[in-house]
Amino acid sequence: MQSLSVTIDMNSGFCFGVVYAIQMAEDILEEKGYLYCLGDIVHNDVEVERLQQKGLQIIDHRQLRELKNEAVLIRAHGEPPETYQIALENKLTLIDASCPVVLKLQNRIKTSFDKDANIFIYGKHGHAEVMGLLGQTNNKATVFENTDELFRHQLPSKITLYSQTTKSTDNFYNIKSLLEEKGVEVEANDTICRQVSNRDKELRKFALNFDKIIFVSGTKSSNGKVLYQVCKSTNHNTYFVSKVEELKPEWFQKNDKVGICGATSTPMWLMEEVRDALLMMQI
């Protein structure tokens, strides 16, 4: 008889943008046997390793400049205009798996930039998506990660506010309110992906139903770090693992109800492996 009851959160796992990018990659790998991808296709090391074994070759922007007459996958995070220019010059075929939500945001930022708006972007410095957004403004927009950083800037009387698609909607509208309290006129553009932003509410409900929570995510995933903290704040018996080998029997007691959940960059097959390992575990 198994001593643990284990349930996977079926709302966890890849968002549709990541599903789309990985499906495109797998189709081409099956046909050609190899494919270049600009940056990690997803911020999950074990999923990247799985695809690399199928022939996926991860390159950076320096390597892109040296590559010619090849096909290159653009991942869901999107890319700045410079990448497309390099592709033209090097006769590269771009397989564009940019998420539609990201592309919509890029287009709106470009429109605002063309109107000489003062653009502020709530997002993580250096994140792939944010670099693509900045590129729409010739890197002239202001990126900030929190309100402390925002208010260190000399703010104009009117700003056009955008956000990385995976940020919290509550935080976005709180930033808008704080700016308005300081007398700044704000044109707020909410293009946050609801499939991602709603995960925090869904996870809070999920985490309350179990004795222990195993949160599965890659260590590079910004979304994973945020959602792990959501689970941890709801259920203090929450443990972070990036692979099955990191599970520890001492975390559990006999008859524990265990919930497994993950980031938008966590593959379902990995959560299933974690479930199977837990069911085999001797407590």
Residue 33 gets which letter from DSSP? S
Name the helix (H) or strand (E) containing 26: helix 16-32
Which tokens go with 63? 């390597």
Got the DSSP string for 195-241?
Answer: HHHTHHHHHHHHHTT-SEEEEE--TT-HHHHHHHHHHHHH-SSEEEE
Rounded to whole angstroms, the Cα distance separating 86 from 66 reads: 10
Known catalytic membership, residue 49: no
- Give the C-alpha distances (Å, rounded to integers) separating 267 from 42, 46, 191, 254: 10, 9, 25, 28
Residue 55 three-state SS: coil
Please provide residue 118's backbone torsions phi and psi, each rounded to the nearest 5 degrees. Answer: -85, 100
If you count them, how many residues does the chain have? 283
Closest CA to 130 of 77, 84, 167, 189: 77
- Give the C-alpha distances (Å, rounded to integers) separating 181 from 117, 172, 175, 186: 20, 15, 10, 11
Place of tokens 């966590």: 266
Question: Of residues 26, 66, 70, 129, which has the active-site annotation?
Answer: 129
Rounded to whole angstroms, the Cα distance separating 207 from 230 reads: 9
- Give the C-alpha distances (Å, rounded to integers) separating 23 from 14, 29, 67: 12, 10, 24
Question: Which residues are marked as active site?
Answer: 129
